[in-house]
Amino acid sequence: MVRAPCCEKMGLKRGPWTAEEDMTLVAHIEQHGHSNWRALPKQAGLLRCGKSCRLRWINYLRPDIMRGNFTGEEEDAIIQLHAMLGNRWSTIAARLPGRTDNEIKNVWHTHLKKRLQSSSKPSGQAAPKRKAKKPAVATSALEGPTSQPASSPGQSLPMSPEQSLSTSSATDSSSSESEEFQIDDSFWSETLAMSVDSSGSGLETSDTFGADSASPSSSNDEMDFWVTLFMQASDMHSLSQI
DNA sequence: AACAAGTTCAACCGCGAATGG
DNA sequence: GCCATTCGCGGTTGAACTTGT
């Protein structure tokens, strides 16, 4: 098949996004949605390809994005989900509200993999100490994605349940490795329980976690089985820790 | 204080899947 | 059913940043 050029590379901007571009994109999506990524940049007056816009929105500007360090719970969940699902980052991300596949992939490659390697060694224990998040390149222009999403241009967007939950519960201080952004343990039990409880309808990924990242459940039946299994195991595990 | 080495993460690339005409 | 277009995913890159010397 002859591939259409991903994006006409002529005259299109690349590299880090500016605050202006972010605002333009957010404002446009707020008004018109993103039914057609390819046409979006033109309509919005952005010198970016649709792919780039989509990526920026999905990974950064979406109102329900939860930024900040991963909690130990999240890291454990990623490790276990990865053990079950392999490198299916989008599927893993669908189980972690507010996290993107890209972010999870990064975390996996940067320190979870190392953590597993070191923990598989006899004396190996801790993951490499996480340093504070740096302000990102493009983000310095944007009051920092490192800061609350609500302070981004998307602040006027409706806050999702996940976001409000995560922001309001970012006060737990039990984990030493994530100081600035933490999730209460109850968040996890609620989240996991929610997925398991809702018998039948279960795992409402597309509704709960956003249609953008979740794949249709019809193709995920088998996977859902394993994920459900994991959820249950996770519940049991958390109970045993009490 | 300056430099080198190591780490992190936003963004890009290419491919396959899905969708529409 | 075929073809073209668009979307979404996973792998990879490279600049910015941190840490160590």
Q: What is the pLDDT of residue A222?
A: 54
What percent of chain A is helix, strand and coil (3-state, nearest 5)? Answer: 55, 0, 45
Task: Give the pLDDT confidence of A79-98 residue by residue, as tens digits.
Answer: 889 988 888 999 999 988 88
Average pLDDT (A18-41) is: 90
Better pLDDT: A214 or A59: A59
Nearest to A18 by CA among A60, A50, A58, A51: A60
Q: What is the pLDDT of residue A101?
A: 92
Average pLDDT (A158-165) is: 36
Average pLDDT (A114-130) is: 52
Protein contacts of strand C with Cβ less than 7 Å away? A 1-4, 35-39, 50-51, 54-55, 58, 87-91, 101-102, 105-106, 109, 131-132, 134-135, 137, 140, 212-215
User: Which residue's CA is nearest to the C1' of nucleotide C18?
Assistant: A131
Q: What percent of chain A has pLDDT over 70?
A: 44
> What kind and span of H or E run contains A40?
helix A40-44
Lowest mean pLDDT among A29-43, A64-78, A179-193: A179-193
Q: How confident is the model at residue A162 (pLDDT cuts 50, 70, 90)?
A: very low
Q: What average pLDDT does the structure give for chain A?
A: 63
pLDDT exceeds 60 at position A217: no
Q: What is the pLDDT of residue A223?
A: 56
Question: DSSP letters along A104-146, please?
Answer: HHHHIIIIIHHHHHHHHSSS--PPPPPPPPPPPTGGGGGT-TT
Average pLDDT (A160-172) is: 36
Distance A67 CA to B5 C1' (A): 28
Q: Do residues A47 and A41 lie in contact, with contact meaning Cβ atoms separated by under 8 Å?
A: yes
Q: How confident is the model at residue A215 (pLDDT cuts 50, 70, 90)?
A: very low
Average pLDDT (A159-168) is: 36
Distance A169 CA to B17 C1' (A): 38
Better pLDDT: A179 or A16: A16
User: How far is the C-alpha of A196 from the C-alpha of A203, rounded, in Å?
Assistant: 7
Residue A56 neighbours by CB under 8 Å, 6+ apart: A17, A21, A22, A25, A48
User: Which residue's CA is nearest to the C1' of nucleotide C6?
Assistant: A38
**Structure-derived torsion over alpha carbons of residues A197, A98, A240, A110, reported in degrees to the nearest 10:** 140
Q: What is the pLDDT of residue A104?
A: 93
Q: What is the pLDDT of residue A185?
A: 45
Average pLDDT (A219-230) is: 56
What residue ranges do the domains of chain A occupy?
19-61, 72-126+156-241
User: Which residue's CA is nearest to the C1' of nucleotide B15?
Assistant: A3
Query: How buried is A144 (Cβ within 10 angstroms: 0-12 exposed, 13-18 middle, 19+ buried)?
Result: middle
Question: Which DSSP symbol is given to A241?
Answer: H
Sign of CA dihedral A29, A170, A146, A191: negative
Which nucleotides on chain C have any atom < 7 A from a protein Cβ? Answer: 3-12, 15-19
